[in-house]
Structure 1
Amino acid sequence: MNQKSAVVIGASGGIGAAVADILRSSPEYKTVIRLSRSGDSPVPLDLTAEDSIRAAAEWLTNNQIAPSLVFVATGLLHNENNGPEKSLRQLDPDWLMDNYQVNAIGPALIAKYFLPLMNRKETIRFAALSARVGSISDNRLGGWYGYRASKAALNMMIRNLSIEWSRKNDKSVIVALHPGTVDTALSQPFQNNVPAAKLFDSDRAARQLISVLGALKPADSGKIFAWDGTEIKP
C-alpha cells in the first residue's frame, strides 16, 4: 500500500486530537502531523497569524512532507467574554471579526499555503469543519450572527478553492464538514436541548467525519457534508 501523509490543524482540540489519533492508527497513513498553537505540535501554528501558517508550511516543505490529507479542525463559537449573539443589539465589531478570523480567514490561509504542498497527480483531500447553521437556506431561527455568517463565508471559500484547485488537480476533494453536536468545550454551553443520541463524543465524531471524507469523490468537491454523509445546501 502506498502510505501517505496527513496534517491535522487544531490537533490539540477535541475533534482534531481524535482525528489525528484515528489517522495515526490507520495503515493508510505513514505520517500524521499534528499542528496547533500548543501541545505536541512540531512547529506552533496560530490560525490568526499568517506568518505562523506560512512558517508551518515551510516546516513541512523542509521535512519533505507532501500531505495527501489536510484536515482543519478549528472553530470559534464563544470565549470567556463573548458568546453567539441572540439579537442585533449584541452585535460587536471586534467579536464579529474574531469569528471571521478563526472560522473563515484562517482556514482560507491554511489552503493558501498548504494546498500547493499537496501532490497534484493523486487524489488529495482538504477538509475544514463547518456547521449546519452556516447554511443560508437552512436558517429558520436567526441569531448567532457572527458564527452563522463566518461559517457561511467558510463554505464559500471552500467552493472557490474547489473550483480553482480542480484546474490544477482534477482528483482533488475539497469540502466542508459538519460534525454534528460534539461533546467538546465549543458546544458545552449549548448541549441542554440536544438528545443524548445526537451528542457525539470526540472519537465517534472523528470516525464519522473520516468515513464521510474517505467516501467522497472529486465530483463532491466544493460541497458541504454532514456527519452522516448527507449534503447540506448552502
Structure 2
Amino acid sequence: MSTLTRALVIGSSGGIGESLVQQLTLSGRYSQVFAVSRSLPTFPVDGVKYQIMESQHEEAIAEFCQKTAHPLEPFSLVVCCIGCLHGRFENGVQVSPEKRLEDINAAQLQYYFHINTVLPALWLKHLEPLVRGTIAANLVFLSARVGSINDNTLGGWYGYRASKSALNMVLKTAQIELQRRAKNVCIVSYHPGTVDTKLSAPFQANVKPEKLFTAAFTAKQLLSQLDNFSASHGPYFVDWEGKTIAW
C-alpha cells in the first residue's frame, strides 16, 4: 500500500493558493491534491481535484469534509488561505484598513471577522476527520504578523489586526483540544510576509523590493517548513523564514 498521503488547499484561487496547489502537485509527496475555491483557476493543474463551493455555508463545508474523509487515505496537510484585507464585496461592504479610531464602523468590522476568523474556524471545526489518525498531519492557516498583540508597535488596521488575533486564539485553543483527541495533528499559524498579490497591492509602496515576495516563493517557504512541525509542540505561529512570532 502506498505511503503517500493527501493534501488540501482551501481558498485555492488566490495567488498563494494557486502556487501551493502547483507545488504540492509537483512535489510527488501526495497521492492526491484537492483544491477548494469559489471558482476554477484560469489554468487548472492536471490531476488536481477541484471543488467549487461557497465556504459561506457551513453545510457545504461539512458535506465536503464528510465525503472526502477516508480512513485508508489520510490527509497529512491542509492549508487554509481564506482571508481579506481590502475591497468591495458582494454585500456592498467596502473594506479598507482603518488608520484611526474614527474610521471604525460596524459593517467593516463584522466583515473582517467573518472572513478572517469565522470561516477558517468553521473549516477547522469540520477538518478533524480528514487528518485524525496515526500519520503526522499539519493544519496550516494563513495569518499575519499584525495579528500579534505583543508585536503591535504601529497601531492602526483595527479590524484586520483584531480578526487575525482572534484567528490565532481559535487556533491555539483548538490545538489544546486536539492534543486530547487527535494527537497526530499540529496546527500552524503562518505569516507569509508581504506577497505580490491583489490582497497587498495597495500597500506595497513602502515595502522594500527584497521584502516583496512572489506567491511562489512564500508557498515554497511554507512547504519547506512542514517537516519541522510537531503536534506535541504545537501550535506554531511562524513567519516565512520559520522564525517564531509572539502570539
Question: Normalized against structure 2, the TM-score is what?
Answer: 0.89
Which 10-residue stretch deviates more, 163-172 or 44-53?
44-53
SS state at 1:158 partner = helix
> Would the aligned equivalents of 2:69 and 2:129 in 1 still touch at CA under 8 Å?
no
Q: 1:78-97 to 2 correspondence within 5 Å?
A: 78-80=86-88, 81-97=94-110
* Structure 1 residues without counterparts, runs of 5 or longer: none
CA shift, 1:220, in A, is: 3.5
Q: Secondary structure at the match of 2:181?
A: coil
Q: Deviations over 1:168-192 (max 9, x none)?
A: 2323211100000000000000001
Give CA-to-partner distance per residue, 1:41-73, whole Å, 9 cap, x none.
Answer: 743332322122122213313898532211001
Matched residue, 1:195: 208
- Residues of 2 paired with 1:127 and 1:205: CA distance? 13
Q: 1:214–1:74: structure 2 CA closer, same or farther, 3 Å change rule?
A: farther
Structure 2 unaligned runs (5+)? 42-48, 89-93
Q: Please give the root-mean-square deviation of Cα atoms over the aligned residues, in Å.
A: 1.8
Equivalent position of 1:168 in the other structure: 181
1:72–1:135 distance in 2 versus 1, CA, 3 Å = same
Give the counterpart letter for 1:52 in structure 2: A
Q: Is the 8 A contact 1:48 1:101 kept in 2?
A: no
Describe the SS at the equivalent of 2:189.
Answer: strand
**Match among 170, 177, 180 for residue 193 of structure 2:** 180
Q: CA deviation at 1:3?
A: 0.7
Which amino acid is 2:86 matched to?
A: H
Residue of 18, 42, 60 corresponding to 1:52: 60
Alpha-carbon distance in structure 2 between the residues aligned to 1:211 and 1:166:
24
Counterpart in the other structure of 2:21? 20
Q: Which moved more, 1:220-229 or 1:9-18?
A: 220-229
The alpha carbon displacement at 1:141 in A equals: 1.1
Aligned residue-pair number: 234
Residue in 2 aligned with 1:31?
A: 32
Percent same amino acid among aligned pairs?
Answer: 39
